[in-house]
Structure 1
Amino acid sequence: MKYSIMTIAIILLLLTSPISVTSTNQTKTDWLSYQQYKLKTTIQTDINITKTAKTRLEMIEARTSLFPQQTASQSILSITTQPPVAEKNHELVFKWYNPKEKTLSYKINATVKTTPATSQIKTKIAFPPNIDREKFSLYLEPTELIDSNNPLIKEKAIELASDKNDLFDVVFTLANWVYQHVNYNELLGKEVKKASWVLTYKQGTCDEFTALFVALCRALDIPAKYISGIAYSNIISSFEMHAWASVYFPNYGWIPFDPTYGQFGYVDASHIVLKESYDAETKAVKLVWRGSDIEITASQPSANAYLLDTSGKRTSPIEITPSILFKRTGFGSYNLVKATITNENNFYVSEEISLAKPNEIELLDAQIKHILLKPNEEKQIFWRIKVKPDLERNAIYTFPIIIKSNLLSKQLEFKSAYKETIYSLSTINQHVPEQLLPKEGGATIQCIAEKQTLAVGESSLISCTLKNNNQFPIEQLQLCFDKDCKTVSIQSGEEKVFPFIFSSETAGETDLTITASSEFFSKKIILTFTILDEPKIEITDLSYPEKVEYNTKFTISFTIKKLSYRNPSNVKIILKQNKYKKEWYLRKLETDKQMRISLSGSDLDPGTNQISLTILYNGKQAGAQFTISLEKVTFFQRAILFLKKLTKALSSIFR
């Protein structure tokens, strides 16, 4: 049978998230394309006032240290505020007198000129660096959130720096590890977690990425600062509050690193510095007021910016030479893309290199790679690809491949047809340096819960780390969290973190099953959670005689019933009748407990006796009240009871 042959040229459009900062759409790369950028930025904070009928408010003062700063890569052209402000001790101080509003706001408006903050380190700096610890102590010591003295952080930092003697190489490796292994999770946007927590659960926003990176640096005695500011975000396609780091290099000063954006040794010009600190910023605004019966809180600052002007085009510090192993392949064939990256400068260059390909091509390796080049150094990057097998048999496909850096883009192409040679993965692997290939070891999944003992309704973050140690990608992997399933894929040698949130409204022990399964991989993990409710006790089966005589022996019996899953603790049982009081104590109530209290009619007063039974536990109480009548009391018995009462009264007076 003969086939008519049609030629299909695949047109590859590189689509990136737009930035609405001017009338022309910008991309993240555009923030690196020019020598200078002129921006208008606004930072706003709302102050919420909750009043009562008795509220008295004479004055509110809001202090903030978050405002645009003068730095080597950032010039403040103008700054205005609403309302007017005073500057004191590196803080802007806003004041309102006798305010009537329920919400007050202040705005900081600034016109800023920025440049991409790049470094030009020309010589190797030895690791570990020779640092004046006293001079840089503030940026070497652990803090509450940057707990660089944590044993796990120290262990990971030493592991990553093993066998390295170049400071830039070490810091680059730390930043790249955080970028690759910490999962961006917007659910953690409100509370800044400790660096050790981030290392364990591999979750966070820019605050957590930066805190962990700074902690890893300090664990190796490398001074590092925490930078608070604003930057353009591709996730929300606008500016927002952001955090990154600055690392000290002897003889060169402070060099920026953004482990969230994957910018190592440089940051793009959308980064506007508001504050440099030794710890993660948790309190953006300090409030002081003069008044009473009032509650005042400040919102998190919001930021916005737009581009006014640019000037001076930048050129790429590297050259990219792309190549393809096989110019023609069959359907279902593997192929190899190689990019030779050359640093044509006399200083270190750190770059992000990415590969774009048509949908008909499968990618076996990570799409984005970061590379550090020494002065005039040349390195090679490889991507293993595969042509999908189910293409049109009567067509010849021309596939474009684009390799892109921050300022440079290069394209190549190859053809694929039904009757062309099909190359195996093992053939392709022979052309990749062995140290760059993933070590065979199957796939692994590990899940860890932030807390496994929870209150009813409380949430726990579960982080599942899936690592593919195969030399091929795992496609269509079903990852199920109980009955909630998602389909994921993971490239060869890649490690991904998947977050889940667990909570339960039912008290008790519960098992949560997490499964990961594909054609080549199946794994089940069971996490056991203890869900605790509020401790609760009830008095049941209360039994007592309604009438007794003086010489009658009788029993009051009842059951302390445990109604909650959680064990009530510090349980005190109190039986009280007039001046008579008796107590029993239980450290913990693990099961229902039957109580029998033996008494005599001579313990009561003639007539009706009001008796209370009270159980105190965990700041709560349960109780019951009842009456027992003492009847047929003789004159002699009354006299004895009177003398008993008198003796007790006198002993209490002279005690």
Structure 2
Amino acid sequence: MLRKHVLLLFILLLFPVLALAQNNDLFDYSYTDLELSITNKFEANPVASDYYLDYVSAELSWFPREDYRQEVESISTEPRADFTEDVGFLFEWLQPSRTSFRIEEESRIIAYNEFRKLRKKIDFPIIDLDPLYSEYLEPQEMIDINEDIIRTAAGIVQGEDDLYRAVYKLAQWVEINVEYDLSTITSEAVQKSSWVLDNKRGVCDEITSLFISLCRSLGIPARFVTGISYSNINLQNDGWGPHGWAEVYFPEVGWVPFDVTYKELGFIDATHIKLKTSLDAKETSINYATKGRNTEIKTGKLEFDVNVVKHGFKVKPLVELSAEVIEEEVSFGSYNLLILDVKNLHSYYVTTRITLANVKELDLLSGNSQAVLLAPGEEKKLYWMIKVSPKLESGYIYTFPLKLVGSRGEEAEISFRASKQWKIYSKDYMGLYILSEQPEEDPYSKNVLVTCTADKDKIYLKEKVELRCVLDNKGNQTLARLSICLNDECSTTKITAGKTVRYVYTKKFETLGVKTLVFRAQNELVEKSYYSIIEIQDKPLLDVEDLSFPDSISYDDLSNIKFFVKKKSNTKPSNVKIRLEHKLMHEEWDVPNLERDYQFTVMLRGDSMHLNKNDFEIIVTYEDEQGNTYKVQEEFSINLNKPSFTQRIMIWLNSLDHKINDWISNI
């Protein structure tokens, strides 16, 4: 009798995704201690022989920023520069004898690989946003917002009431639907968000811009972050180079990082060095200025050098993994289903990515990597549909080990076997185990179009805004018992096939802030929403305060007039003009947008006064965004102390000279 031998074969695993070079370990450390050097060379070149340079400056706005995951140990510049938080470092040269310049900024930073900890659900949409964050909803040159962006964002978050999950869905949608080349990881944005959405491709900064646009269109504040990070794709400069990511504002929590390019959502790794935040993706890092004649600036590139001084331990596991397969024994050509149970071990939201190692002779139908968001303590199931190759050799039993690895080193393993004589399972059969876990989309929603238009996107307190919404049923079914809501204001209606219905709402608000109005149509067939963002402003208000001046002054004395112009409203007064008026003198200042308090100091000369009482007036005019003009006045007087006879003659001559000059200037 011929004895048949059954061989048990273990298939070798291939780890192209998991097998990382040693340098890639930088992504996995709990912190990095980094030395950063930023240098720039530029020239003020003469363009004619009679040139001269009176003044040169370079304003460097890139410097390490303190936040929840980044500590700045030290920072210095060469040459010495003046520093302000709003501007950065200002390098200045007065009457320089050279035309070539070099600046350097050196810093020591500790960057942490940490989540911004959200321990409870924050409601979405943000119905009432602090007006301090309204500017992070405004469309910009590159981060623009159009109707397609508004519709796309609303569709992605349809039915979502958790802010973290809504933002996560937007990031996931961009990651999945927008194609990008990782070799362009340091490229700057040249296309607008609307272009990226239309073309479904873009470089690093452009993808981040689209994500920010989607957030802003839903009333979620978001801003662009520029900095430096490590890449294992682009190994120029030892892998370190400029990079852009996003931060999203969560009420009562703060700014949370989302790097769609690096697939780091709710956190960024310890190779990210944050250098600047901005409203748009195309803001400069350095500005130059000169005073003189016949010279022009030849700019140079910013050069970066990063040295890793030391690093922490590998990051600790975020989640607990447990794996199972539906069938432990299948035939060649059969389907099987791998189910992974993922549990959040922490009291805050976490995101992670689970990767299934490639296995020879197995086809992974949905790719080998899946991302997941988990609320505090939440547990979810992930699924991988697997097909065994039908071309295996009969007479053998194949064992397929399946290894899953989380983004922070978590692991789970399981295996199943395949042999010719065992049962073949269909894809539909395995799909039965997934259906109960996955929510179905409303099948008819694609046939319903919803739009809303407000007559104003910014109004004052108690001012009315009119919102017009259109619901177009383009399908072939009647929408019965259709709930129509604007936030909590609801009614029920029926809309027949092919019919268009219009709704008009008039709203006014008693509190400041950014209000999100959600128009929603919903029944058992459809759920569609449209988000309208209305900013409720106070009228711009400023005042002249802390005015100080001498009661009197002698002819030969010097003194000062000091005062503050202070913003008293949330809204910024614009086109602000400040004038100090006196019969024999005047001073004037212009402030395009009054974002903070300004102090003004005027030197007062006794020999510029006229006899007896001198009347002064401070006049401040400004405008609101609608072009309305406002005026503030403050009057005061200063006496001239008993002048001598000679001084009286000089005062009279000075007054006469002033009148003659005024007369000439008015001719």
What is aligned with 1:380?
A: 381
**Contact 1:263–1:352 (Cα < 8 Å) also in 2:** no
CA separation of 1:2 and 1:192: change in aligned 2, threshold 3 A:
farther
Provide the C-alpha distance between the structure 2 equivalents of 1:415 and 1:62, rounded to a whole number of angstroms: 68
Q: Which amino acid aligns with 1:179?
A: E
Percent of aligned pairs with the same residue? Answer: 31
Provide the C-alpha distance between the structure 2 equivalents of 1:147 and 1:349, rounded to a whole number of angstroms: 29
Q: Which amino acid aligns with 2:297?
A: I
Residue by residue, what CA displacement relative to the aligned partner does 1:581-637 show, whole Å, maximum 9, x if unpaired? xxxxxxxxxxxxxxxxxxxxxxxxxxxxxxxxxxxxxxxxxxxxxxxxxxxxxxxxx
Q: Which amino acid aligns with 1:153?
A: I
**Contact 2:339–2:382 (Cα < 8 Å) also in 1:** yes
**Contact 2:75–2:107 (Cα < 8 Å) also in 1:** yes
Match of 2:39 among 26, 40, 44: 44
Shift of 1:33: 4.2
What is aligned with 1:607?
A: none
Do structure 1's residue 205 and structure 2's residue 203 form an aligned pair?
yes
**Contact 1:57–1:289 (Cα < 8 Å) also in 2:** no
Q: What TM-score results when the alignment is normalised by the length of structure 2?
A: 0.59
**Contact 1:284–1:300 (Cα < 8 Å) also in 2:** no
Provide the C-alpha distance between the structure 2 equivalents of 1:379 and 1:55, rounded to a whole number of angstroms: 75
**Contact 1:76–1:110 (Cα < 8 Å) also in 2:** yes
What is aligned with 2:415?
A: 413
Provide the C-alpha distance between the structure 2 equivalents of 1:412 and 1:233, rounded to a whole number of angstroms: 32
Q: What TM-score results when the alignment is normalised by the length of structure 1?
A: 0.60
2:173 alignment partner, SS class? helix
Structure 1: any 5+ residue segments left out of the alignment? Answer: 442-655
Within-5 A mapping of 1:212-611: 212-237=210-235, 238-311=239-312, 314-393=315-394, 395-407=396-408, 408-433=410-435, 436=438
Provide the C-alpha distance between the structure 2 equivalents of 1:127 and 1:222, rounded to a whole number of angstroms: 9
1:430 alignment partner, SS class? helix
What is aligned with 1:506?
A: none
Provide the C-alpha distance between the structure 2 equivalents of 1:361 and 1:84, rounded to a whole number of angstroms: 62
Match of 2:178 among 164, 178, 182: 182
**Contact 1:17–1:234 (Cα < 8 Å) also in 2:** no
CA separation of 1:46 and 1:370: change in aligned 2, threshold 3 A:
farther
Provide the C-alpha distance between the structure 1 equivalents of 2:147 and 2:191, rounded to a whole number of angstroms: 17
2:131 alignment partner, SS class? coil
**Contact 1:117–1:267 (Cα < 8 Å) also in 2:** yes
**Contact 2:18–2:357 (Cα < 8 Å) also in 1:** no
**Contact 1:332–1:386 (Cα < 8 Å) also in 2:** yes
CA separation of 1:57 and 1:214: change in aligned 2, threshold 3 A:
farther
CA separation of 1:401 and 1:82: change in aligned 2, threshold 3 A:
farther
What is aligned with 1:617?
A: none
**Contact 1:122–1:346 (Cα < 8 Å) also in 2:** yes
Provide the C-alpha distance between the structure 1 equivalents of 2:178 and 2:39, rounded to a whole number of angstroms: 30
CA separation of 1:3 and 1:392: change in aligned 2, threshold 3 A:
farther
Q: Which amino acid aligns with 2:119?
A: K
Provide the C-alpha distance between the structure 2 equivalents of 1:114 and 1:366, rounded to a whole number of angstroms: 32
Shift of 1:394: 5.0
Q: Which amino acid aligns with 2:172?
A: N
Provide the C-alpha distance between the structure 1 equivalents of 2:44 and 2:18, rounded to a whole number of angstroms: 39
- Larger Rg belongs to: 1
**Contact 2:189–2:203 (Cα < 8 Å) also in 1:** no
Residue by residue, what CA displacement relative to the aligned partner does 1:523-569 show, whole Å, maximum 9, x if unpaired? xxxxxxxxxxxxxxxxxxxxxxxxxxxxxxxxxxxxxxxxxxxxxxx
What is aligned with 1:136?
A: 133
2:24 alignment partner, SS class? coil
Q: Which amino acid aligns with 1:224?
A: A
1:204 alignment partner, SS class? coil
Shift of 1:380: 0.5
Provide the C-alpha distance between the structure 2 equivalents of 1:17 and 1:44, rounded to a whole number of angstroms: 36
Shift of 1:177: 0.9
Provide the C-alpha distance between the structure 1 equivalents of 2:433 and 2:344, rounded to a whole number of angstroms: 23
Shift of 1:401: 1.8
What is aligned with 1:122?
A: 119
Shift of 1:55: 8.1
Provide the C-alpha distance between the structure 2 equivalents of 1:321 and 1:267, rounded to a whole number of angstroms: 26
**Contact 1:8–1:396 (Cα < 8 Å) also in 2:** yes
Provide the C-alpha distance between the structure 1 equivalents of 2:19 and 2:342, rounded to a whole number of angstroms: 28
CA separation of 1:120 and 1:4: change in aligned 2, threshold 3 A:
same
Provide the C-alpha distance between the structure 2 equivalents of 1:437 and 1:164, rounded to a whole number of angstroms: 12
**Contact 1:228–1:281 (Cα < 8 Å) also in 2:** no
Q: Which amino acid aligns with 2:163?
A: L
Shift of 1:133: 4.3
**Contact 2:29–2:311 (Cα < 8 Å) also in 1:** no
What is aligned with 1:87?
A: 83
**Contact 2:399–2:415 (Cα < 8 Å) also in 1:** yes
Provide the C-alpha distance between the structure 2 equivalents of 1:49 and 1:203, rounded to a whole number of angstroms: 39
Provide the C-alpha distance between the structure 2 equivalents of 1:235 and 1:267, rounded to a whole number of angstroms: 17
1:261 alignment partner, SS class? coil
Shift of 1:387: 2.1
2:312 alignment partner, SS class? strand
Shift of 1:424: 2.4
Q: Which amino acid aligns with 2:33?
A: K
Q: Which amino acid aligns with 2:240?
A: F
Shift of 1:18: 8.5
What is aligned with 1:62?
A: 58
Provide the C-alpha distance between the structure 1 equivalents of 2:19 and 2:5, rounded to a whole number of angstroms: 42
Provide the C-alpha distance between the structure 1 equivalents of 2:110 and 2:296, rounded to a whole number of angstroms: 39
Provide the C-alpha distance between the structure 1 equivalents of 2:412 and 2:328, rounded to a whole number of angstroms: 17
**Contact 2:209–2:281 (Cα < 8 Å) also in 1:** yes
RMSD, aligned α-carbons: 3.0
